[in-house]
C-alpha cells in the first residue's frame, strides 16, 4: 500500500473515532441532568434517557494539573453510562469538572500557559478514552474563595484563556463537542468573569439559579425560585430587615433576576441554561408568622431533603403543609409543630421554569441532580411534559 493511502486510512480512522455520531439537533429546550453518583445508587439501565438531551456526569477534578476522577470507580461508572447511548444516539453524555468541593486545583492550573496546556491535553485524552460528548467546567468560582479554594485576581483573564483553549483543543477532535460552564445565580460572581469573551468560546452557560439561599442565612427564603422578588414584596419582614442591615443591594435573588442581568449584558438567550434543584433547603426554629417565610431561624435543619423524600414523606404529611408563593413562583413547606421551613422545587415550579425557557428563547433547563428525583411522575416527567407542550 502506498504511503498516501496509509495516511488516508489513518485519517479516516481518527475521524470515525472522533465524530462517529450524528450531530444532534439542538433547537428548542435542552434538558440537562447533572448526575452525581456518590449520593444515589447508580442505575444506568433505568435512567429517563428519552426525556433528557444531556447527562453531565459529576465530578472529575484538577489533580496534579490534569483532569482526573478522584476515585477509579467513577471511571467504570461513566463507561457503563456511555454504553447506554447506543440505544439513545441523540443523547449527549458529558462530564463535569470541579464542583463546590472539587475546585481547589483550578486557579493554580490556569495561572500559566504550561499549566493550561497540560490540563487541556488531559481533557482531550479523557474525551477520547471515555468517548464522551463534551465538558462542563464547574469552577466555583474564579476570583472568589468558594470552599476555601486558592484564588487570584488573575483568575478573571485566566478563566477566559482556559475556556477558549479548551474549545480550540476540543475542536481538533470534533467541532460539535459541547463546552459549557456552571455559573453562580447571583450577579457579584460575574464581576470576576470576562463574560463576552468567555461566551464566544462556549456553547452554554449553565446558570445555577439555585442555592440562592444559604444554610447559614439567619432568615428563611426561597433557594431556587423563578419569580422576580422586589424588596417591596417582602417589606416589613425580618428577612428584609436583615438584607438591609447586610447592605447587599443585589438581594433578593431569583432566576428571572439573573437572566435579566445576563440579557442586559448582551448574552445570546440561546446560550443561557437556567437551573432547578431537586433537593430542598431547610431551617429549624422558624416562627409561624407568614407560614415561616422570610422569618428568622435558629440554624440549618439536618434532615434529608431530596425531592423524592419530600414528596413521599413530608409534603402535606406529618404536620408539614405545602404553600405557594405567587411572586416567587415557588412552593415551600412549613411545620408549625416542628418549626421547620423547607424551600424546594416541585412539579408546578419546574413546569413554570420550562415554560419560561421556551417563552424567552433560552437554551434550556438543567438540574442538580438526577438521583434525587421521584421515580414516577417526578420533576423530570414534569419538565418533559411542559417541553412537549411547547413542541420542543
Strands (E), the chain: 30-36, 54-63, 66-68, 92-98, 134-138, 178-184, 204-208, 272-277, 281-283, 320-325, 330-335, 340-343, 364-368
Residue 157 burial (CB count, 10 A):
13
How far apart are alpha carbons 278 and 229 in whole angstroms?
21
Residue identified by cell 449553565 is: 206
Q: For residue 298, give every residue at least 6 positions away whose Cβ sits within 8 Å of its Cβ, in sequence order, or none.
A: 283, 284, 285, 286
Among the listed residues 66, 140, 315, 386, the single catalytic one is 140
As a whole number of angstroms, the distance between CA 157 and CA 151 comes to 12
Tell me if residue 140 is catalytic: yes
CB–CB of 218/296 below 8 Å?
A: yes
Question: 322: cis peptide before it, omega within 30°?
Answer: no
Spatial CB neighbours of 74, under 8 Å, sequence gap ≥ 6: 37, 57, 60
The answer to whether residues 105 and 97 touch, using CB atoms and an 8 Å cutoff, is no
Q: How far apart are CA 312 and CA 221, in angstroms?
A: 23
Residue 261, Cβ density class (10 Å: 0-12 exposed, 13-18 middle, ≥19 buried): middle
Between CA 66 and CA 19 the distance in angstroms is 24
Q: Which of 328, 327, 384, 378 has its CA nearest to residue 355? A: 384
Supply angle C-alpha 171, 116, 207, rounded to 5.
70
* Active site residues per annotation: 140
Amino acid at each position: 500500500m502506498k504511503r498516501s493511502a496509509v495516511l488516508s486510512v489513518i485519517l479516516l480512522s481518527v475521524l470515525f473515532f472522533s465524530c462517529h455520531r450524528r450531530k444532534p439537533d439542538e433547537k428548542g429546550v435542552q434538558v440537562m441532568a447533572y448526575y452525581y453518583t456518590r449520593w444515589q445508587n447508580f442505575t444506568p439501565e433505568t435512567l429517563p434517557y428519552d426525556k433528557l438531551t444531556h447527562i453531565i456526569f459529576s465530578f472529575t477534578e484538577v489533580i496534579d494539573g490534569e483532569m482526573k476522577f478522584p476515585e477509579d470507580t467513577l471511571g467504570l461508572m461513566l463507561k457503563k453510562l456511555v454504553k447506554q447511548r447506543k440505544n439513545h444516539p441523540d443523547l449527549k453524555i458529558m462530564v463535569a469538572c470541579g464542583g463546590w468541593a472539587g475546585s481547589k486545583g483550578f486557579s493554580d492550573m490556569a495561572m500559566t500557559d504550561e499549566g493550561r496546556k497540560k490540563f487541556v491535553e488531559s481533557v482531550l485524552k479523557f474525551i477520547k478514552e471515555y468517548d464522551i460528548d463534551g465538558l462542563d467546567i464547574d469552577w466555583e468560582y474564579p476570583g472568589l474563595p468558594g470552599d476555601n479554594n486558592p484564588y487570584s485576581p488573575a483568575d478573571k483573564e485566566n478563566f477566559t484563556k482556559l475556556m477558549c483553549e479548551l474549545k480550540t483543543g476540543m475542536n481538533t477532535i470534533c467541532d460539535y463537542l459541547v463546552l459549557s460552564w456552571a455559573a453562580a445565580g447571583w450577579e457579584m460572581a460575574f464581576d470576576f468573569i470576562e463574560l463576552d469573551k468567555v461566551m464566544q468560546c462556549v456553547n452554554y452557560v449553565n446558570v445555577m439559579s439555585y442555592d440562592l439561599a444559604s444554610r447559614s442565612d439567619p432568615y428563611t427564603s426561597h433557594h431556587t425560585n423563578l419569580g422576580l422578588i422586589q424588596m417591596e414584596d417582602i417589606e416589613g419582614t425580618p428577612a428584609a430587615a436583615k438584607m438591609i442591615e447586610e447592605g447587599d443591594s443585589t438581594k433578593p435573588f431569583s432566576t428571572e433576576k439573573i437572566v435579566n442581568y445576563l440579557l442586559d449584558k448582551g448574552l445570546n438567550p440561546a446560550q443561557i441554561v437556567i437551573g432547578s434543584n431537586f433537593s430542598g433547603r431547610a431551617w429549624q426554629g422558624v416562627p409561624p408568622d407568614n407560614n415561616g417565610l422570610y422569618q428568622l431561624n435558629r440554624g440549618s435543619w439536618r434532615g434529608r431533603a431530596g425531592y423524592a423524600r419530600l414528596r413521599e414523606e413530608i409534603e402535606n404529611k406529618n404536620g408539614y403543609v405545602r404553600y405557594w408563593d405567587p411572586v416567587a413562583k415557588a412552593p415551600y413547606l412549613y411545620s408549625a409543630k416542628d418549626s421547620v421551613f423547607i424551600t424546594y422545587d416541585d412539579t408546578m415550579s419546574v413546569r413554570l421554569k420550562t415554560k419560561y425557557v421556551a417563552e424567552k428563547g433560552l437554551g434550556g433547563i438543567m438540574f442538580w441532580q438526577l438521583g434525587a428525583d421521584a421515580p414516577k411522575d417526578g420533576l423530570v416527567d414534569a419538565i418533559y411534559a411542559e417541553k412537549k407542550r411547547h413542541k420542543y
